[in-house]
Amino acid sequence: MLTVDRSFGFLDPRTKLLLLVTLPTFLLGGAGGEYLKPFCMGFSVLPFVLLFISRNYLPAVSGFLVFMLMQFAGMIIPRDAGGLVHNVFLILYEVLCLLLPCGIMAAFIMRTTTVGEFIAAMEKLKVPQFITIPFSVMFRFFPTIMEEYRSIGRAMKMRGITPGKVGIAGFIEYRIVPVMMSVVIIANELSAAALTKGLGGKIKRTCIHRLGFGFADFLLIALCVTALLLFVLSLFDVRLW
Amino acid sequence: MLKLKDVSFTYVCQSGYIAEDRGPVSNVTGTSETAKSAQSGTADISENSESGTGGRILNSFNLNLKKGEFVLLTGASGCGKTTVLRLINGLIPRYYPGKVEGCIEINGEDISGRELYEISRSVGTVFQNPRSQFFNVDTTSEMAFACENQGLDPKEILKRISVTAGKFNIEKLLNRNLFKLSGGEKQKIACAATDVTGTEVILLDEPSANLDHDASLDLRRLMEKWKSEGKTIVVSEHRLAYLWGLPDRLVIMKNGIIDRVMEKNELDTVTPEILASMGLRTNVMENPVNMDLPDIAEADTSISLRNFSFRYHNGIFRKSKYSRNFGYDDVRIALNRITAVTGANGIGKTTFLNCLCGLEDNCRGVVEYDCIKLDSRERRKKFFMVMQDVNHQLFSESVWEELMLCFTGRNISDAEKDRTASEVLKKLDLYEYRDRHPMSLSGGQKQRVAIACALCSDRDFLLFDEPTSGLDQSHMLSVSALLKSLRDAGKTIVVVTHDSELIRCCCDRKIVLKRL
C-alpha cells in the first residue's frame, strides 16, 4: 500500500499559515515592543529550527550562522555615530535582520507544503475557491519563474547584454519582459490542463494528504496564540511583567 | 464511443500570440478542394469538401471511433489537429472561445451542454509541453490531482496510484519533485496521471515532441498497455515512427479538413517514400545514437574540449540527489561541419551546450581553438546558441532593433550596421518583417531572427538546442536547409537533437553523450 511521505510536511498547513501571519506581526510589525522581546527572539530562531527538522540541513545551518553573525555585528556597530550614510546603513541592517527569519519561514513553507495540502487546508478553513486556486497556483509558479528567469539570464549573457551597455532600466526591461511573456503563456496552458483535470468543478474535493494537528502543531499554535494574546492584552495595558 | 459529426470551428481571435504560441490561427484559411474521402464498413470518417469558409480552423469534420480504437491524427502544423483534441476534451469552446457547429458525442451523449469537469470524467488529456501541464510540484500529488477533483476517497486514490505505478513501472518516480525530472520522466507522469483517473477516452497532443528515442519507445509501451485495456485513444503527432503499428487508423488532415484516411491494412504497406510525398515524416524508427556518422574525421580541423566537466549545484538549498554531472576528457568538434549531439533525456545535453557557450559558472575545463585556450568569457563572444525556447532570447520591440542590439558596444559605423543587418535579414527571408515585433512572428521566423542575431554579432560557432522539436516534415526540411547554408557560409554548427531525420538530412558528424 502506497503511503504519502509525511516527512515532507510534518506541520499542518494551517499551523504554517498561522506562523506566516504571526512572525511578521512581531518581527516586522514590532508588536509588543520591549515587553514581548522574548517571543520575538523565539520567533527569529524558529524558522531555522523548522528548516533543520525538515531535513534542509545546509540552508538551516548556514542561514542560522548568517543570522547570528548579523546579531553579533549589531552589538558592535556604534549606534550613535550619526551621519546620513551611517543611518541609512543602520536602517538597512535592521530591516534585513528582521526580514531574514520571515524570508526563511516563507521558504520553509513553500518547500514543505504540497499544492494538494494547501487546497485541502484552505477548504477546511472555508476559504472560497476563487481565493484558494490563484494562491495554490503560486506554489507551482515560483519554481517556474525561477527556471524562466535563469534561462533568460543566460540568453542575455550570451548576447552580451549588460547594464553597462543598455543601461540599468534597459537591463531590467530586457530581463523582466520575456519572463512575463513566458509566464503568461505557461499560465494559460496550465489553466487549460488543470481544467481538463476537473479543477473548479462543483464537487467537493478530497485530498490524499492527511491533514490533522500533531504535537508540534499544538506546541506552535499555543506559542503563537499566547504571543498574540499577550500583545492584545498589552494594548489594554494588561501586562504580566 | 466517440463521435464528431459535421463539426466546424471558427476561431474568435484572442489577444494574438499569448493565446497561441504556435497555433493554428495564422496559417489556416479556407479548405482544400482536392481532398479525398475515405470510407469503410465499420468506421466512418468522411469529410465534406465544402470550400471558401475563410478563418475556419475546422470544417465539417467527421470522426467516429468505436470503443478501444486507436486513431492517429497527423498533418502539417496548423492543420487543425490540436483543435480536434480540444473539441473532444471540451476546452473548445469553454476555454478557447469560438463558434462550434455540429455535434460531439461521447458514449452516445452530446457534450455541448456539459461543463468541463463533467467531461473530464470520461476524457483524459496528455499535453505536449511538460512545463505547463502539471498543477502540482510533486509527482504523487499530480497523479492524485484529477481524482481529488472528482472527490474520490483518498484511500481509493492511493490504491489506484500504486496500481498505475506498478503497471507503468514508475515506482521510483513517486514522491519526487516534478521540476527535477527529465522530459521523458515528466511525460510518463503525465500519462500516469491520466491513467489514475481511469478515463475511457485518452487524448495525446504531440506527446513525444520533447522526447528522445528511448523515452518515445517507453511512451509507446504505455500506449500499448492502454490499447490492450480497451481505451479509446486519439493521438495527434508529427513523429509517426515510434507509434507505427499501433493505430487502427491514420487520419491525415490538411487545412482543417480530412485529407486522407488510411486503415490498418493500408498502413501496413506504407513506405517512408509514400509518407514523404504526402508531406509526412517517416514511419521508420531510427536511434540517433546508432546512426552511422563519424564523431570526427582525420582531415577535420577541430576545436578540442579538454577535461570538460560540470557539476550541478542547487543554489543554497540541499544539493539534489538526482543531480546531473558530466565530464569529458577530450571531445573534438569539427570546424565548418554540422555536428549532432545526442544522448538520452536528462543526460545534460542542454547543459553541455550552456557550458560550451560559456554560460555555466560551474563548468571546468578548457576549449582549445587554433591552439588558443578559450575561457568562458571568450567563448561567449565566439559562440551563439539558438535556444529551444527562442522566446527567451528575443528582447526588443522589432526585428530591426533586435539586430541593432547585437552591435551595441562594438565600434561600427551606422552605415555599416545598416548594411550588415539588411544583408542578413534578406538572406534569412526576414527583410519584410523587420518592423514587426519578434513575438508576433511564427516559431520558425523567431528561430531565424535568433540566427540573424548570431550572424550580426559575428559569431563563428552556432549551437542549436532541439531546433526541430514539434516540427512537421516541411519545417524540419527548411531548418535542415538553413543549417546547411550556414555551414556553407563557413560557420561551425553544433545541434543537440534526437530527431534522426534531421541528422540524416544535414549532419556530418555526431557526438553521443553518455552517463558517467
- B148 contacts A116? CB cut-off 8 A: yes
Best mean pLDDT range from A193-202, B34-43, B51-60, B407-416: A193-202
What tens digit of pLDDT does each residue of A92-141 get?
Answer: 888 888 888 998 898 888 888 888 888 888 888 888 888 888 888 877 88
Q: What local confidence, expressed as pLDDT, does residue B193 receive?
A: 96
Of A121, A138, A149, A168, nearest to A19 (Cα)?
A121
Q: What local confidence, expressed as pLDDT, does residue B311 receive?
A: 67
Of A30, A28, A60, nearest to A45 (Cα)?
A60
Q: In this structure, is residue B135 part of a structural domain?
A: no
pLDDT confidence of B13, banded at 50, 70, 90?
A: low
Under DSSP, the state recorded for B405 is: H
Q: Among residues 316-345 of chain B, which lie with CB inside 8 Å of chain A?
A: 316-319
CA distance B266 to B252: 13
Q: What local confidence, expressed as pLDDT, does residue A223 receive?
A: 93
Q: Among residues 150-169 of chain B, which lie with CB inside 8 Å of chain A?
A: 150-154, 157-159, 161-162, 165
What tens digit of pLDDT does each residue of B332-366 get?
Answer: 899 999 999 998 887 778 888 988 898 887 777 78
Same domain, residue pair B329 and B363? yes
What tens digit of pLDDT does each residue of A216-239 get?
Answer: 899 999 999 999 999 999 888 888
Share of chain B above pLDDT 90, in %: 57
Q: How far is CA B370 from CA B302, B304, B337, in A?
A: 8, 9, 16
Q: What local confidence, expressed as pLDDT, does residue B243 receive?
A: 95
List the single residue in A with minimal CA-CA distance to B350.
A151
- B151 contacts A205? CB cut-off 8 A: yes
pLDDT confidence of A34, banded at 50, 70, 90?
A: confident
Q: Is the ipTM of this complex over 0.85?
A: no
Domains in chain B: how many in total? 2
Cell numbers at B89, concatenated: 476534451
pLDDT confidence of B30, banded at 50, 70, 90?
A: very low
Please report, for the domain that includes residue B397, its CATH number. 3.40.50.300
Same domain, residue pair B295 and B271? no
Q: In this structure, is residue B38 part of a structural domain?
A: yes
B462 or B20: which leads in pLDDT: B462
Q: B205 near B233, Cβ under 8 Å? A: no
- Please check whether residue B253 touches A, CB under 8 A: no
Q: In this structure, is residue B270 part of a structural domain?
A: yes
- A178 contacts B394? CB cut-off 8 A: yes
- Please check whether residue B144 touches A, CB under 8 A: yes
Q: What local confidence, expressed as pLDDT, does residue B484 receive?
A: 96
Sort out which chain A residues have CB atoms less than 8 A from B89's CB and list them.
196
Sort out which chain B residues have CB atoms less than 8 A from A137's CB and list them.
135
Mean pLDDT over each residue of chain A, to the nearest integer? 84
Q: What local confidence, expressed as pLDDT, does residue B84 receive?
A: 94
Q: To the nearest 10°, the Cα dihedral for B307, B313, B319, B323?
A: -60
Q: What's the average model confidence in pLDDT over B172-184?
A: 88
Q: In this structure, is residue B221 part of a structural domain?
A: no
B285 or B307: which leads in pLDDT: B285
Q: Which of A192, A203, A210 sits opposite B95 (nearest CB)?
A: A192
Sort out which chain A residues have CB atoms less than 8 A from B357's CB and list them.
158
Same domain, residue pair B492 and B462? yes
- B157 contacts A206? CB cut-off 8 A: yes
Same domain, residue pair B325 and B422? yes
Same domain, residue pair B256 and B326? no
Q: A77 near A90, Cβ under 8 Å? A: yes
pLDDT at B39 exceeding the cut of 70: no
Best mean pLDDT range from A1-5, A29-33, B288-292, B367-371: B288-292
Under DSSP, the state recorded for B392 is: G
Q: What local confidence, expressed as pLDDT, does residue B495 receive?
A: 95
Q: What local confidence, expressed as pLDDT, does residue A199 receive?
A: 86
pLDDT at B286 exceeding the cut of 80: yes
Q: Which of B18, B354, B387 sits opposite A185 (nearest CB)?
A: B18
What tens digit of pLDDT does each residue of B84-110 get?
Answer: 999 999 998 999 888 899 999 999 999
Same domain, residue pair B426 and B331? yes
pLDDT at B36 exceeding the cut of 60: no
Please report, for the domain that includes residue B93, its CATH number. 3.40.50
Q: What local confidence, expressed as pLDDT, does residue A73 receive?
A: 81
pLDDT at B262 exceeding the cut of 50: yes
- A159 contacts B453? CB cut-off 8 A: yes
Q: Among residues 435-494 of chain B, which lie with CB inside 8 Å of chain A?
A: 439, 453, 457
A116 or A148: which leads in pLDDT: A148
Cell numbers at A38, concatenated: 522574548
Q: In this structure, is residue B218 part of a structural domain?
A: no
Q: What local confidence, expressed as pLDDT, does residue A81 receive?
A: 66
What tens digit of pLDDT does each residue of B215-258 get?
Answer: 999 999 999 999 999 999 999 999 999 999 999 999 999 989 99
Q: What local confidence, expressed as pLDDT, does residue B124 receive?
A: 96
Residue A29, Cβ density class (10 Å: 0-12 exposed, 13-18 middle, ≥19 buried):
exposed
Same domain, residue pair B303 and B263? no
Q: How far is CA A42 from CA A65, A222, B101, in A?
A: 16, 13, 65
Cα dihedral A199, A200, A206, A210 sign: positive
Total CB pairs under 8 A between chain A and B = 208
pLDDT confidence of B507, banded at 50, 70, 90?
A: very high
Q: In this structure, is residue B152 part of a structural domain?
A: no
Q: Among residues 389-418 of chain B, which lie with CB inside 8 Å of chain A?
A: 389, 391-395, 405-406, 408-409
pLDDT at B479 exceeding the cut of 60: yes
Best mean pLDDT range from A89-98, B132-141, B308-317, B406-415: B132-141
CA distance A135 to A124: 15
| B34-43, B52-61, B390-399, B461-470: least confident range | B34-43
CA distance B73 to B252: 6
Share of chain A above pLDDT 70, in %: 95
Cell numbers at A109, concatenated: 513553507
Q: In this structure, is residue B179 part of a structural domain?
A: no
Same domain, residue pair B270 and B353? no
Q: What local confidence, expressed as pLDDT, does residue B334 receive?
A: 92
Q: What local confidence, expressed as pLDDT, does residue A9 receive?
A: 54
pLDDT at B319 exceeding the cut of 70: no
Q: Which of A143, A152, A184 sits opposite B179 (nearest CB)?
A: A143
- Please check whether residue B361 touches A, CB under 8 A: no
CA distance B215 to B229: 21
One-character DSSP codes across B250-300: EEEEETTEEEEEEEHHHHTT--HHHHHHTT---S----GGG----SS-TT-
Sort out which chain B residues have CB atoms less than 8 A from A60's CB and list them.
none
Domain with B25, as residue range(s), is 2-115+239-277
Under DSSP, the state recorded for B47 is: B
pLDDT at B47 exceeding the cut of 60: no
Q: Which of B134, B138, B389 sits opposite A114 (nearest CB)?
A: B138
Q: Count other Cβ atoms within 10 Å, centred on residue B224.
A: 14
3-state secondary structure A35-61: HHHHHHHHHHHHHHHHHHHCCCHHHHH
Q: What's the average model confidence in pLDDT over B508-515?
A: 86
Same domain, residue pair B263 and B319? no
CA distance A210 to A220: 19
Q: In this structure, is residue B228 part of a structural domain?
A: no
pLDDT at B199 exceeding the cut of 90: yes
Q: What local confidence, expressed as pLDDT, does residue B516 receive?
A: 61
Same domain, residue pair B57 and B76? yes
Same domain, residue pair B455 and B333? yes
The one-letter amino acid code at A233 reads L
* Domain final residue, candidates B277, B297, B329: B277
Same domain, residue pair B406 and B319? yes
